[in-house]
């Protein structure tokens, strides 16, 4: 019986895949037969480590340094990916948070900050998604196939006190993804979002361990009384990248 989650002959680009959720998505894709994986990160050493992890276990991956807020850099990355692996069939917009190098004031109330902080959230969470989609969509249309998966946040659906601009940027990414889903469905290209809540990436895990009371209060709001794990998100993204989700 064939594996409906198999990514046979598919090339995937995962932004912000040098650690955490993005890394796990890359490992999941490799374990399910992806023909090639472009591991993007702002920091090349992170991307190289994940690509190495995939290649030593029999997968095929390349590291690609690029700032997703820079359209020219993203287009150059996609061109290099095509030359090395072939056209991108699956785009996972995972890069997020406050960007690769967060502004020291990023956690202050937004009314105490200004455009430098706001743009750090909007740049990576909204423009990063738009830039990456813009670079990948033309070849997807040409090939009459594709998957675009955008990692958003519950903050983008419901709003999050203290993360006002981040919430707005994620809501914008969700709206953009819904719109391109309508535009691209005729070309057998699907576009979906995965809205996640607190997930045990290294940074979040360290914060929760340092403040058990914060974790307790947070989990009171969760129907499933635990934080997410990178595997949880990677499983959903794998499903949306596969033929199992071709009508979603």
Which residues are marked as active site? 166
Contact yes or no for 10/81 (Cβ under 8 A): no
Would you call 34 helix, strand, or coil by DSSP?
A: strand
Query: How far, in Å, CA of 223 to CA of 148, rounded?
Result: 28
Beta-strand runs (E) in 66-214: 90-93, 146-153, 189-196
Give the count of alpha carbons within 13 A of 128, CB side only.
33
Which residues have CB under 8 Å from 154's CB, separation 6+? 160, 195, 196, 197
Query: What residues form DSSP beta bridges with 150?
Result: 93, 193
Query: How far, in Å, CA of 168 to CA of 182, rounded?
Result: 22
Angle 154-104-207 from CA coordinates, rounded to 5°: 50
CA proximity to 15, closest of 243, 163, 185, 237:
237
CA proximity to 169, closest of 107, 98, 73:
98
User: Order of strands, edge to edge, in the sheet holding 36-41?
Assistant: 61-65, 36-41, 11-14, 90-93, 146-153, 189-196
């Amino acid at each position: 019986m064939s594996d409906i989650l198999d990514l046979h002959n598919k090339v995937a680009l995962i932004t912000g895949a040098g650690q955490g959720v993005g890394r796990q998505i890359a490992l999941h894709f490799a374990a399910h037969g992806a023909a090639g994986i472009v591991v993007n990160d702002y920091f090349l050493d992170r991307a190289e480590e994940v690509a190495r992890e995939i290649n030593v276990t029999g997968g095929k991956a390349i590291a690609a340094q690029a700032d997703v807020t820079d359209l020219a850099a993203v287009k150059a990355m996609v061109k290099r990916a095509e030359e090395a692996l072939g056209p991108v069939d699956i785009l996972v917009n995972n890069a997020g948070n406050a960007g690769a190098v967060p502004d020291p004031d990023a956690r202050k109330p937004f009314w105490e900050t200004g455009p430098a902080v706001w743009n750090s959230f909007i740049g990576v969470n909204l423009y990063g998604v738009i830039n990456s989609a813009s670079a990948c969509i033309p070849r997807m249309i040409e090939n009459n196939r594709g998957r675009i998966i955008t990692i958003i946040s519950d903050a983008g659906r419901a709003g999050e006190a203290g993360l006002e601009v981040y919430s707005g940027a994620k809501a914008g990414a969700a709206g953009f993804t819904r719109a391109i889903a309508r535009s691209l469905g005729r070309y057998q290209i699907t576009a979906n979002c995965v809205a996640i809540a607190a997930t045990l990436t290294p940074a979040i895990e360290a914060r929760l361990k340092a403040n058990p009371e914060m974790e307790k209060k947070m989990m009171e709001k969760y129907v499933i009384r635990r934080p997410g794990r990178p595997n949880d998100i990677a499983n959903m993204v794998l499903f949306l990248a596969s033929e199992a989700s071709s009508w979603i």
